[in-house]
Amino acid sequence: MRAPTWTGLLSALYTFLIAAAHLTSAWPNIPFRADGRWIVDASGANVTYVGVNWPGHGDVMIPEGLQHTSVEAIVSKLKGLGMNAVRLTYATQMVDEYFDNGEKDVSIETALVTALGKENGTKVLGQILKNNPEFQASTTRLQVFDAVAAECAKQEIYILLDNHVSKAGWCCTPFDGNAWWGDVHFSVANWMRGLTFMAEHAKSWPALTAMSLRNELRQPYTNFTFAQEAYNWQNWYNHSKLGASAIHSANPTPLILLSGMDSSTQFDVLVDGKPLSPGTEPFNRSAFAPGFSDRLALEMHAYSIIEKVTDCSKFEEKLQNQGFSTLTQPAEAQYPLLMTEFGFAQDDETWRTDVYATCITSFLPKQRVGWFIWVIAGSYYIRDGTQEFDESWGLLDSTWENWRSPEFVENGLKKMIRETLEAVQGGKGKTEDGQGQTPPDTNGAGGSRPTWCLLAALLFGILCVW
Ligand SMILES: *[C@@H]1O[C@H](CO)[C@@H](O)[C@H](O)[C@H]1NC(C)=O
Ligand SMILES: *[C@@H]1O[C@H](CO)[C@@H](O)[C@H](O)[C@H]1NC(C)=O
Ligand SMILES: *[C@@H]1O[C@H](CO)[C@@H](O)[C@H](O)[C@H]1NC(C)=O
Ligand SMILES: *[C@@H]1O[C@H](CO)[C@@H](O)[C@H](O)[C@H]1NC(C)=O
Ligand SMILES: *[C@@H]1O[C@H](CO)[C@@H](O)[C@H](O)[C@H]1NC(C)=O
């Protein structure tokens, strides 16, 4: 038999190297890491998030919408917009019940009947199984999360896995017991166990790129003495450090998102190097995350609920002071920043005329940060005791079939997606369509105003920061 020639060998080696290079740069190209204010993938290329929140932290504790449509259809909807990410939320209670149940997850049948009652739970289970024939009554909650993760991987949608609440249910007031470490429902030990468990569990999700420590840390007003004692930056530092280490030891791959105080609105202490009160030391990134400080990013939220936005430049200035200045600081104070929640009513008017809506949708692409709009859900299995709750802020309508505001989606949202990808990734992954107009910056009406904060302000002189 004739020996292979040198040229034959070289050509085989060349083919192999090309294939290997292709493999190592294959989507999702994790781990992502922080490079100053940018997030870069494993090949060193800039990457950003343009995505939507998909809640799975409600009373049933599975991702919403499956009584109306399939996992595949929901992922296809956001893929079709040109989005590249979901912020998938879960409740620590889901993990607690896994352990309480002898390390065995709860079936969706049990979860639905428990949350919705026998009659409606059984009916909704039937609808879920009809839309998603790969599931059975005995399918577990985590298996539903796994199916969502698998579909995201298939369609190349990054996952940011978010610890949204401890006790499952609609979130987030200072009075709900989920607000701060040690609050009525917020056991530190269970939270740590939950982060560790989910970080470990989600190792099998190729699409997982980031995990949050906790959604919207806020004043724990279930107990004012406790709030006064415990709600401070030093306590934030101590607990966030524990959580970051828990995630990183269980799974070193994901980015770890730090949530600021006052419902993820305040990062000035980190960015400006102020003391972590009541202590005197400033935030020290390498002591906080020894050996993995390049995994840290900040997640901010901004709404126009408690304090209505009426002046775009003042609002932008406020966002700068609360954390966006990290993007332009000297290197040691730079972090990647993600706007992981913002949103507004999905009618055909608000996105064009409301000051907040027009302001934030043009601000984010200009800042070249990643973002997740609240929310894909056209409805919830149950929210605040109301079953089949219609979500007027949902991108989808209550049937989960159609866009609630096709005008916003076509002319506003697609433009935002395109502009953000263009600004950070040079258009890599941009959508084909969505030639939107710049929304006019005029004063608009509307916006519901939850009363808890106004009430608290009146009663206790609390400042509602937003
Ligand atoms: C990321 O994008 C910014 C802005 O365009 C650029 O300055 C930076 O060099 C990019 N980083 C990489 C690794 O390409
Ligand atoms: C059961 O579902 C129906 C239809 O979605 C709803 O009108 C009804 O209020 C639900 N029952 C309970 C107990 O919430
Ligand atoms: C409120 O918090 C304080 C301080 O942590 C604690 O001593 C007290 O027992 C709490 N009160 C209740 C009703 O839990
Ligand atoms: C944070 O941890 C440090 C070091 O363990 C401790 O000295 C300090 O009292 C803690 N601060 C708070 C507010 O828990
Ligand atoms: C930050 O922490 C690291 C690691 O503990 C330490 O080496 C460094 O001196 C600290 N930096 C400052 C400014 O204190």
Average pLDDT over residues 216-222: 98
Q: Pairing state of beta strands 33-35 and 38-40?
A: antiparallel
Q: Which of 229, 238, 241, 283 to mutate to test the pocket of ligand 4 (most atoms within 8 A of CB)?
A: 238
| C-alpha distances in Å from residue 218, one per residue of 176, 270, 311 | 10, 17, 25
Per the document, the length of the chain is: 466
Say how many Å lie between the CA of residue 439 and the centre of ligand 3. 50
Average pLDDT over residues 55-60: 98
Q: Which ligand is nearest to the CA of 240?
A: 4
Say how many Å lie between the CA of residue 228 and the centre of ligand 5. 29
Q: Which ligand is nearest to the CA of 241?
A: 4
Query: Is residue 458 over pLDDT 90?
Result: no
What is the pLDDT, as a whole number, of residue 332? Answer: 85
Torsion of CA 344, 347, 348, 351, to 10 degrees: 0
Contacts of 462 (CB under 8 A, 6+ apart): 219, 221, 453, 456
Q: Which ligand is nearest to the CA of 398?
A: 2
Share of the chain above pLDDT 90, in %: 85
Interior/surface letters 405-432, b for 16+ CB within 10 angstroms, e for the rest:
bebbbbbbbbbbbbbbbebbbeeebbbe
Average pLDDT over residues 231-238: 98
Rounded to whole angstroms, the maximal C-alpha distance in the chain is 93
Banded pLDDT at 10 (limits 50, 70, 90): low
What is the pLDDT, as a whole number, of residue 462? Answer: 45
3-state class of 282 per DSSP? strand
Query: Is residue 128 over pLDDT 70?
Result: yes
Q: Which of 144, 146, 187, 148 is nearest to 165 (CA)?
A: 187
* Cα gap 340→30, rounded to integer Å: 20
Say how many Å lie between the CA of residue 356 and the centre of ligand 3. 39
Of residues 20 and 427, more confidently modeled: 427
Average pLDDT over residues 107-120: 98
Q: What crossing angle do the helices spanning 141-154 and 108-116 adopt, rounded to 10°?
A: 110
Could you report the per-residue pLDDT of 258-311, keeping only the tens digit for each?
999 999 999 999 999 999 999 999 999 999 999 999 999 999 999 999 889 999
What is the pLDDT, as a whole number, of residue 82? Answer: 98
What sign for the dihedral angle of Cα 180, 183, 189, 191? negative
Say how many Å lie between the CA of residue 266 and the centre of ligand 4. 21
Identify whether the C-beta of residue 195 lies closer than 8 Å to the C-beta of residue 238.
no
What is the pLDDT, as a whole number, of residue 13? Answer: 57
Average pLDDT over residues 135-158: 98
